[in-house]
Amino acid sequence: MRNGWGSRLWGCIVIRFLCLLGLLVGGSATLWAADKPVIHWLSPNFPPVFIADGPLKRQGYGDQIVRYMSEKLPDYRHVPATANLTRTYNQMKLHDGVCSVALFETPERAAFANFSDDVYHVMTNRVVVMNRNLHRFKPYLNAAGEVDITRLLTASDLAVGVVPDRFYSQLINDTLKAVGMPDNMVVIPFNRYGALLDHGRIDYTFGFPAEAYHQFSKLGKAEAFVALPIAGEARFQSGGFSCSDKPLGRKVIAEINRLIATEEVSAVYDAFYEQWLDARSLKDYRKLRAAMQR
């Protein structure tokens, strides 16, 4: 009896020791993680760049490059969060360690954000049409296969869908302003233009190729559309990471720039981005990227 009781007592002591050891080790790990500087990655909900919910949550190409960069910067604790652009601006102005990959550099933003070297080169807005209707747009294409949107917008037999208050580009918005509100213009919600095109409610709209691919993918018709380049429009827009223009933010950007200089960060981004391009846009994009690398 005594031996049995002693064995049980010894067993309890060993178990308590192991539990205490686990708490100490776990506590040390927690303290070590807490000692790391924190980077708050703020991103808008803008599929397929950033996807905040649903089955593809955090699988947008912007989400993926943030995750990739987070893994390359292990000396920081990375906290992703969804925030609109206004909140992102305010947080960057007020706090250090706030970063994003959603902001293109402008003089206004450079007043409160520090920007990295270019990482990505995204295609600008195009004219989105159904493949089955492509023949109707050929009269408005130039020799390079680009759309003359001034002529197109005056075509009364083609209904254009326009998202109110959306800034597409300087060229597109200036042209829309010049033509006014003709009878063939239809006000549409941003997240439904794929369905409206598919059902023939509109004949064309303006959109980024990747966002159009996302909308048609949700309909199970990823190859049903084509995105046509616009005459006079820049083919792509380049950008990179941005962080608060404060000590920690500047340190993070310096480390990101070192990674950009020594690793194929742009190639990694391209791989994420190309998953969301239709066949025509993918061909154009690879041609543009090849020309940039020569």
Segment 277-287, tens digit of pLDDT = 999 999 999 99
Please check the confidence at residue 30 and state whether its pLDDT lies above 70.
no
Backbone torsions φ then ψ of 63, nearest 5 degrees: -60, -40
Nearest alpha-carbon partner for 289 in 274, 276, 279 = 274
Q: 118-140 burial string, b = 16+ CB within 10 Å, else e?
A: bbbbbbbbbbbbbeeeeeebeeb
pLDDT for 245 equals 98
Asked if the domains 35-116+240-278 and 126-228 are classified in one and the same CATH topology, the answer is: yes
**Continuous segment of H or E residues that includes residue 39:** strand 38-43
Tokens standing for residue 288:
């543009």
Q: 244 or 54: which carries more pLDDT confidence?
A: 244
In the three-class reduction of DSSP (H, G, I as helix; E, B as strand; rest coil), residue 113 is classed as: strand
Percent of the chain with pLDDT over 70: 88
Mean pLDDT score, 212-241: 96
Tokens standing for residue 89:
């601006």
pTM: 0.84
pLDDT for 294 equals 75
CATH of domain 126-228: 3.40.190.10
Q: Which residues pair with 115 in a beta bridge?
A: 242
Quote the mean pLDDT of the chain. Answer: 90
Cα 127 to Cα 147: distance, rounded to the nearest angstrom: 8
pLDDT for 67 equals 98
Mean pLDDT score, 174-181: 94
Q: Kindly give the pairing relationship between strand 185-187 and strand 160-162.
A: parallel
Q: What is the pLDDT of residues 185-225, one digit of tens each?
A: 999 998 899 999 999 999 999 999 999 999 999 999 999 99
Please check the confidence at residue 4 and state whether its pLDDT lies above 60.
no
* Cis peptide bond upstream of 48, omega within 30: yes
Mean pLDDT score, 52-68: 96
Q: Nearest 10 degrees: CA dihedral of 213, 217, 222, 227?
A: -20
Strands (E) across the chain are located at 38-43, 77-82, 98-100, 113-115, 120-123, 126-130, 160-162, 185-187, 204-207, 225-228, 236-239, 242-244
Q: With contact defined as beta carbons under 8 Å apart, do 194 and 218 qualify? A: yes
Q: What is the pLDDT of residues 64-113, one digit of tens each?
A: 999 999 999 999 999 999 999 999 999 999 999 999 999 999 999 999 99
Please check the confidence at residue 33 and state whether its pLDDT lies above 60.
no
Please check the confidence at residue 31 and state whether its pLDDT lies above 60.
no
Tokens standing for residue 74:
């292990």
pLDDT for 200 equals 98
Domain ranges of the chain: 35-116+240-278, 126-228
Mean pLDDT score, 137-147: 97
Cα 200 to Cα 133: distance, rounded to the nearest angstrom: 10
Query: CA–CA distance from 150 to each of 10, 42, 155, 169, 253 (Å)?
Result: 87, 37, 9, 14, 41
Position 269: which residue type? Y
Please name the CATH architecture into which domain 35-116+240-278 falls: 3-Layer(aba) Sandwich (3.40)
Cα 175 to Cα 261: distance, rounded to the nearest angstrom: 39
Please check the confidence at residue 37 and state whether its pLDDT lies above 80.
yes
pLDDT for 9 equals 43
pLDDT for 190 equals 87
pLDDT for 16 equals 53
Please check the confidence at residue 127 and state whether its pLDDT lies above 70.
yes
